[in-house]
Amino acid sequence: MCLAIPGQVVELFPDQPNIAVIDVVGVRRKVDLGLLQDSLPVQGDWVLIHVGFAMSKISEEDALDQMRTLRALGEAEAAMQEVQGYGLENTENLE
Please name the amino acid found at residue 3.
L
pTM, full prediction: 0.76
Task: Indicate whether 42 belongs to any domain.
Answer: yes
Task: Give pLDDT tens digits for 33-42.
Answer: 999 989 999 9
What is the domain range of residue 59?
5-85
Task: Indicate whether 24 belongs to any domain.
Answer: yes
Q: What is the CATH number of the domain that holds 51?
A: 2.30.30.140
What's the burial of 1, exposed, middle or buried (CB within 10 Å: 0-12/13-18/19+)? exposed
Q: Is 91 helix (H, G, I), strand (E, B) or coil?
A: helix
Task: Give pLDDT tens digits for 9-29.
Answer: 999 999 998 999 999 888 899
Task: Indicate whether 14 belongs to any domain.
Answer: yes
CB 5 within 8 Å of CB 83: yes
